[in-house]
């Protein structure tokens, strides 16, 4: 009997630790989207706890070994950025954003250990409701035409839309889980609706189109696993009608912006490059020129703006793009500023996690399959947004992507290691 007392205390400590890990992790998406100083403290605590977890838990280190290829690609992209900064003598201030990749690699150790999943996703949806509510507040009460959230200015509407749509996808996935208690189902449903409508108010065309494709993938994975083929087709069709109808009918400005795309594309030329779409085409042409001129090392991290301004002065680019610091394409940003190695790693940062998540989307374990579907949706959303916008040029969207993708990869790896070596997977609680 006396021997069972330490075991009982150990189990209680493990339970408290799992609750604490979930509570801390669940605050971080809110931290990434707000300007408040408290976020530095919470992120710092998570980083230190991640180091301690890596040092003290063999099963966490095993999860990292299982996901070594994906983790290595993220770290390689960081190293390429740091080497590029040194080659171009840009000063280490430019290393701030790339070096944050290491923060998320270590912080994600908290996903590769027991954590209470229902608490985490409930808090994520609560954050989503806050983000959607902020968008509505700014649009209707502050008369801001394109809401940008708490952590940006008028230039932040697109990235704010990306983040809200990612949160909407995650809420939809939790909404479809079985079992899902009614209070949680209501919470996730409200979160999905508010973030989608909040993103709609930003009038951001690229993220909305990317969301439609990512939602089709998420629904298809879920209903394929449930073997509900007819319902899959109906759900996909209904989702597309909801997105298309909502986008075009609830906001006249969005309809106008979509109709402008064709007009600007067919009328574009280097001599006529005014307008959001034409300017993108001109920036892409200039970024491709930069890559052709500097294929190995690029023009330097965050130096596209200076390069394009020089091209404008030489008469090689339209003056309409002189105001931009980034080419509005993450792939062309990497090619033009980092060279071919940066272009390869940025593609792998999207492709390898997507393949990993798709492999596990049909897992018999509900928890693993749900996390894989969530990860696949987030990766595809950001990968498609990256075609027409920069997604890693500011901390908020980069943080959301790194946090959820690395975290879910390591969570799945951790659970699989436990199943392989005979330990039961943790409950979703």
pLDDT tens, position by position, 187-208: 998 999 899 989 989 989 899 9
Q: How many other C-beta atoms lie within 10 A of the C-beta of residue 173?
A: 25
Q: Say if 158 falls within a structural domain.
A: yes
Average pLDDT for 348-353: 98
Regarding whether 264 and 231 lie in a shared domain, the answer is no
Calculate what percentage of the chain has a pLDDT beyond 70. 89
Cα(235)–Cα(238) distance, integer angstroms: 5
Residue 225 has pLDDT above 50, yes or no: yes
Which stretches within 269-394 are classed as H helix?
276-293, 304-314, 330-338, 340-360, 366-388
Q: Say if 47 falls within a structural domain.
A: yes
Write the pLDDT tens digit of every residue in 352-367.
Answer: 999 999 999 999 999 9
Regarding whether 334 and 346 lie in a shared domain, the answer is no
User: Exposed, middle or buried: residue 147 (CB in 10 Å: 0-12, 13-18, 19+)?
Assistant: buried
Regarding whether 351 and 410 lie in a shared domain, the answer is yes
Average pLDDT, the chain: 89
Q: Which of 311, 338, 365 delimits the end of a domain?
A: 338
Regarding whether 410 and 273 lie in a shared domain, the answer is no
Regarding whether 290 and 229 lie in a shared domain, the answer is no
Regarding whether 270 and 225 lie in a shared domain, the answer is no
Q: Say if 281 falls within a structural domain.
A: yes
Q: Say if 13 falls within a structural domain.
A: no
Regarding whether 52 and 157 lie in a shared domain, the answer is yes
Regarding whether 156 and 27 lie in a shared domain, the answer is yes
Would you state the structure tokens that stand for residue 128, as one six-digit string?
A: 């989503």
Cα(389)–Cα(393) distance, integer angstroms: 10
DSSP per position, 100-148:
HHHHHHHHGGGGSS---HHHHHHHHHHHHHHHHHHHHIIIIIS--SS--
Q: Which of 277, 304, 338 delimits the end of a domain?
A: 338
Q: Which of 288, 322, 338 delimits the end of a domain?
A: 338
CA torsion sign for 396, 398, 403, 404 is: positive
Whether the model pTM is above 0.75: yes
Q: What is the pLDDT of residue 10?
A: 53
Cα(6)–Cα(239) distance, integer angstroms: 52
Write the pLDDT tens digit of every residue in 83-96.
Answer: 999 999 999 899 99
Cα(130)–Cα(150) distance, integer angstroms: 10
Residue 275 has pLDDT above 70, yes or no: yes
The set of long-range contacts for 76-80, using a CB threshold of 8 Å and a minimum separation of 24, is 76/345, 77/101, 77/342, 77/345, 77/346, 77/349, 78/102, 80/338, 80/341, 80/342, 80/345
Would you state the structure tokens that stand for residue 72, as one six-digit string?
A: 């290595």
Residue 311 has pLDDT above 70, yes or no: yes
Higher pLDDT, 229 or 192: 192
Cα(230)–Cα(15) distance, integer angstroms: 41
Q: What is the pLDDT of residue 176?
A: 85
Regarding whether 306 and 390 lie in a shared domain, the answer is no
Average pLDDT for 43-54: 97
Burial 235-245 (b: 16+ CB within 10 A, else e): bbeebeeebee
Write the pLDDT tens digit of every residue in 134-153.
Answer: 999 999 999 998 999 987 77
What is the radius of gyration, based on Cα positions, of the chain?
A: 22
Nearest to 215 by CA among 251, 180, 249, 168: 168
Q: Say if 6 falls within a structural domain.
A: no
Would you state the structure tokens that stand for residue 135, as one six-digit string?
A: 């968008």
Indicate the helix (H) or strand (E) that contains 8. helix 4-32
Regarding whether 182 and 165 lie in a shared domain, the answer is yes
Q: What is the pLDDT of residue 284?
A: 98
Q: Say if 7 falls within a structural domain.
A: no
Q: Say if 391 falls within a structural domain.
A: yes
Number of domains in the chain: 2
The residues near 348 (Cβ < 8 Å, ≥ 6 apart) are 73
Indicate the helix (H) or strand (E) that contains 426. none
The residues near 353 (Cβ < 8 Å, ≥ 6 apart) are 70, 375, 379, 405, 409
Average pLDDT for 127-134: 96
Q: How many other C-beta atoms lie within 10 A of the C-beta of residue 184?
A: 17
Q: What is the pLDDT of residue 240?
A: 57
Which DSSP symbol is given to 300? -
Q: 216: domain range?
A: 18-250+340-420
Residue 262 has pLDDT above 70, yes or no: yes
Alpha carbon distances (Å) from 23 to 28, 60, 101, 115: 9, 19, 22, 9
Q: What is the pLDDT of residue 12?
A: 59
Q: What is the pLDDT of residue 287?
A: 98
Q: Say if 120 falls within a structural domain.
A: yes
Cα(423)–Cα(429) distance, integer angstroms: 17
Regarding whether 267 and 225 lie in a shared domain, the answer is no
Regarding whether 334 and 192 lie in a shared domain, the answer is no
Residue 231 has pLDDT above 70, yes or no: no
User: Exposed, middle or buried: residue 178 (CB in 10 Å: 0-12, 13-18, 19+)?
Assistant: exposed
């Amino acid at each position: 009997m006396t021997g069972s007392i330490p075991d009982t205390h150990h189990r209680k400590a493990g339970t408290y630790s799992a609750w604490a890990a979930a509570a801390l992790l669940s605050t971080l998406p809110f931290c990434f989207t707000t300007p408040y100083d408290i976020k530095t403290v919470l992120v710092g605590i998570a980083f230190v706890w991640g180091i301690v977890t890596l040092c003290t838990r063999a099963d966490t280190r095993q999860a990292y070994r299982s996901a070594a290829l994906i983790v290595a690609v993220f770290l390689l992209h960081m190293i390429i950025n740091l080497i590029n900064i040194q080659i171009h003598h840009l000063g280490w201030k430019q290393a701030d954003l790339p070096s944050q990749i290491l923060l998320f690699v270590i912080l994600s150790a908290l996903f590769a250990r027991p954590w209470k999943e229902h608490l985490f996703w409930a808090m994520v949806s609560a954050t989503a409701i806050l983000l959607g509510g902020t968008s509505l507040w700014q649009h209707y009460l502050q008369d801001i035409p394109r809401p940008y959230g708490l952590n940006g200015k008028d230039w932040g509407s697109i990235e704010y839309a990306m983040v809200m749509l990612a949160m909407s996808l995650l809420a939809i996935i939790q909404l479809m889980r079985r079992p899902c208690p009614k209070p949680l189902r209501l919470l996730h449903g409200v979160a999905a609706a508010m973030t989608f409508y909040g993103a709609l108010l930003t009038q951001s065309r690229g993220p909305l189109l990317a969301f439609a494709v990512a939602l089709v993938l998420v629904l298809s994975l879920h209903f394929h696993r449930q073997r509900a083929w007819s319902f899959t087709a109906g759900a996909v069709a209904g989702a597309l009608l909801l997105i298309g109808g909502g986008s075009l009918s609830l906001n006249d400005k969005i309809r106008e912006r979509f109709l402008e795309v064709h007009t600007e594309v067919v009328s574009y030329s280097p001599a006529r490059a005014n307008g959001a779409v034409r300017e993108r085409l001109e920036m892409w042409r200039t970024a491709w020129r930069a890559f052709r001129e500097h294929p190995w090392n690029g023009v330097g991290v965050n130096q596209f703006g200076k390069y394009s301004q020089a091209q404008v002065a030489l008469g090689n680019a339209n003056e309409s793009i002189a105001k931009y610091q980034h080419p509005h394409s993450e792939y062309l940003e990497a090619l033009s500023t980092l060279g071919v190695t940066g272009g390869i790693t940025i593609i792998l940062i999207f492709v390898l996690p997507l393949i990993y998540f798709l492999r596990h989307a049909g897992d018999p374990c509900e928890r693993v399959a749900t996390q894989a579907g969530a990860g696949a949706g987030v990766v595809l959303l950001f990968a498609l947004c990256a075609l027409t916008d920069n997604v890693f040029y500011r901390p908020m969207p980069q943080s959301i992507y790194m946090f959820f993708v690395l975290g879910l990869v390591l969570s799945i790896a951790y659970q699989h290691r436990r199943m392989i070596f005979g330990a039961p997977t943790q409950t979703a609680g």
